[in-house]
Amino acid sequence: MTGLTSASPENHPWWRLSDSATEFPQHNSVDSLPLLVVESPLCRSVIAPQGAQLLTHTSYGRTTSNNDQLLWLSPTALFVRGKPLRGGVPLCLPWFGPHNEPGKPQHGFARNEDWQLLGAQADSDGNVVLSWGFGQYASQPHPEFPWRFSARLTMTLGTRIELGLEIQNCDTSPMPLSWALHSYHPVSDLAAVRVRGLAGCDFLDNTRQLERRRQQGDVQFNGELDRIYLSVPDEQIIATEPALAIRGSNCPSAIVWNPGYDKAAALADVGAEHGQEFICLERGNAGTNALSLDAGASHRASVSIGVTG
């Protein structure tokens, strides 16, 4: 199965191989993409080797009758090989947003290509730990990115989601790098939801040609919102039901996005009826927090997602 190596998980009762047509029969699986399903006493998660993308995560951390969905997957998500999947946690890499050269893909190419499963294990706390590698461009650069690099993404899946990312410049010159763990989160009422922990931070407003502004109070949603917050505190709270805490280390940007009604209606893999169901609160290095990674150097960062309060 593409994206899975000798570390494939068929020998453990907490994980199994599947595909998108089986796990998401109500979705449009143009291609039946391979999936890895985790079912442990602490959670249920579904991961696509394409992009090493965590698609869904149900936490059993509070009570068995009150399971918590930490991620949102669009009901109209399209499962197509080599195309972005709408929802979960896509990884934007090796650049975030549009490239300054026309024709290059939005948010890079790592989310659209297969990663290799390097390891799968259960730790002493009952979490499932998966390690994914993206090493196909360590010796030969991608046609659209003239630097050799590799990446490794570690997922610790339990009552919380813990994501650890390492990106290495395998080339002989400094490498430009921007990235984000583009996480989609469900909200109970978009009009009432608040994002806390960004007051006083500067942001680049993508609805106003990246005009730089400063956040006053909590972030609220009234129409399209698309912002890159710069040099933010480690933790933000999505005040919904249940409230979610997103905590990042060594990832100073927070990207907050909801398309608003009109843009959601124009997106085939969202739709007007689903645009009110989620917000994105992403952590990474974007905008003026983008990096220049020295030859041979590595950048390490982590993001934690869980219910709070």
Helix (H/G/I), strand (E/B), else coil: 208: helix
Burial of 264 (0-12, 13-18, 19+ CB in 10 A): buried
Burial of 91 (0-12, 13-18, 19+ CB in 10 A): buried
Residue 6's pLDDT is what? 42
Burial code of 56-69, b = ≥16 C-beta within 10 A, e = fewer? Answer: bbbbbbeeeeeebe
Task: Kindly state whether residue 93 falls inside one of the protein's structural domains.
Answer: yes
Residue 75's pLDDT is what? 95
Where in the sequence is the domain holding 214, given as residue range(s)?
15-307
Residue 1's pLDDT is what? 45
C-alpha–C-alpha distance, residues 201 and 40, integer Å: 39
Per-chain mean pLDDT for the chain: 94
Task: Kindly state whether residue 71 falls inside one of the protein's structural domains.
Answer: yes
C-alpha–C-alpha distance, residues 83 and 258, integer Å: 20
C-alpha–C-alpha distance, residues 71 and 57, integer Å: 6
Residue 198's pLDDT is what? 98
Looking at the structure of the chain, the number of domains it has is: 1
User: Which of 46, 59, 60 minimizes the C-alpha distance to 18?
Assistant: 46
Residue 8's pLDDT is what? 54
Task: Kindly state whether residue 1 falls inside one of the protein's structural domains.
Answer: no
Task: Kindly state whether residue 10 falls inside one of the protein's structural domains.
Answer: no
Is 5's pLDDT higher than 60? no
Low-confidence winner among 17-31, 212-226, 239-253, 261-275 (lowest mean pLDDT): 17-31
Task: Kindly state whether residue 219 falls inside one of the protein's structural domains.
Answer: yes
Task: Kindly state whether residue 6 falls inside one of the protein's structural domains.
Answer: no
Is 11's pLDDT higher than 70? no
CATH number for position 249: 2.70.98.10
Mean of pLDDT values over 74-96: 97
Residue with the larger pLDDT of the pair 243 and 64: 243
Residue 309 binned pLDDT confidence (cut-offs 50, 70, 90): confident
Task: Kindly state whether residue 2 falls inside one of the protein's structural domains.
Answer: no
Task: Kindly state whether residue 291 falls inside one of the protein's structural domains.
Answer: yes
List, in sequence order, every residue forming a beta bridge with 303; answer none if it has no partner.
Answer: 163, 248
Bridge pairing between strands 194-196 and 298-307: unpaired
